[in-house]
Amino acid sequence: MIAEILSVGTELLLGQILNTDAQYLSQQLSALGINVYHQTTVGDNPVRLKNAFEEALTRSDIVIATGGLGPTMDDLTKETICEYLGLPLSVHEESLRHLEHYFATLGREMTPNNVKQVMFPKNAIILKNTKGTAPGLIIEWKDKIIIILPGPPYELIPMFENEVRPYLEKKSDVLLFSRVLRIFGIGESKLEETIQDLIAAQSNPTIAPYAGFGEVTIRLTAKCSKDEDPMKYIQPIEQEIRKRLRHHIYGINNDRLETVVADLLIRNNLKISTAESCTGGLIASKLIDVSGISRSFIEGFITYSNES
């Protein structure tokens, strides 16, 4: 299946907030074996939103829209999409009762414009919002799936994990599994030269090198059925890459250089002190962020001036 993420909000286009929703959703969809080929950001404009949604429908099986579910007049995501689909909205009584209880619990008055947040098309799947006032929804329309989620990440993430992921898991029998090798002490061009033949011959898993800040990573991604172990595809390629890059590979997935160094120090009962000038204590700061490093880290000096 192919999904497209439609991020709605003029504040995104103005750069006032960072679009972490799209990043999160892309990661989650990839893990579910759902390909994301396009991400679109559109402002709070019903005409441009309608055009973006129409285009997304032509090229994707799933369209996930985020943002624009608030109570104000410029929150028009749900209304615009449902108007395009020809689906009239009406009050969902259970959601209304939940909303009234939410405001009563806070000791605040619910204003009339909040009611628009609990208006949904008939037969929509309502997604409960445990952190805010705007429920999400899933619309199964012809052979398409439209998912509309609130914009704030603290509302979107639990809604996706509790409601959307279980729904999508039932729709897909494919798993995409990624394993990242973290590499230090070799540049991206030299790394690619070292494994060029593997990249040229790649099939399953795919091999994707990336240059990062002070390091390079290789992402190995296997595609398989839910019943298979993805490591059976990844392991032979990883072993060959490790054979070639050897000590340049310092970790996997979310490992950080400082955590790996700290673990080596602690496990080998080694002590360390630092003396820094232009880095201004950055090395010491990185190390002391690691739990348990007090067993190895003795002290640090910042000797910035020539006299020091």
The structure tokens listed for 137 are 């929804």
Q: Tell me the per-residue pLDDT of 26-85, one tens digit each, with 9 for 90 and over.
A: 988 887 888 899 999 999 999 999 999 999 999 999 999 999 988 888 889 999 999 999
pLDDT band at residue 110 using 50, 70 and 90 as cut-offs: confident
Tell me whether strands 136-141 and 144-149 are parallel, antiparallel or unpaired.
antiparallel
Let me know the angle formed at the C-alpha of 186 by 182 and 192, rounded to the nearest 5 degrees.
85
Residue 173: the pLDDT is 75
Going by C-beta distance under 8 Å and a sequence separation of 6 or more, which residues neighbour residue 93?
Answer: none
User: Bigger pLDDT: 105 or 60?
Assistant: 60
pLDDT band at residue 234 using 50, 70 and 90 as cut-offs: very high
Residue 27: the pLDDT is 86
Residue 30: the pLDDT is 82
Q: Provide the phi-psi class of 24: left if phi over 0, else alpha when psi is between -120 and 50, else beta.
A: alpha
Question: Which amino acid, 207?
Answer: I
CB 181 within 8 A of CB 220: yes
State the pTM of this model: 0.70
- In the chain, count H helices and then E strands: 12, 14
CB 209 within 8 A of CB 216: yes
Alpha carbons 150 and 129: distance in angstroms, whole number: 9
The answer to whether the bond into 205 is cis (omega within 30° of 0) is yes
> Of the candidates 77, 66, 49, which has an alpha carbon nearest to the alpha carbon of residue 5?
66
Question: Which amino acid, 184?
Answer: F
What average pLDDT does the chain have?
91
Residue 60: the pLDDT is 96
Helix (H) or strand (E) holding 55: helix 46-59
CB 154 within 8 A of CB 73: no
Q: DSSP code of 150?
A: -
> Of the candidates 139, 128, 137, which has an alpha carbon nearest to the alpha carbon of residue 97?
128
Please determine, for residue 172, whether its predicted confidence score (pLDDT) is greater than 80.
Answer: no
Helix (H) or strand (E) holding 265: helix 257-267
Alpha carbons 135 and 140: distance in angstroms, whole number: 17
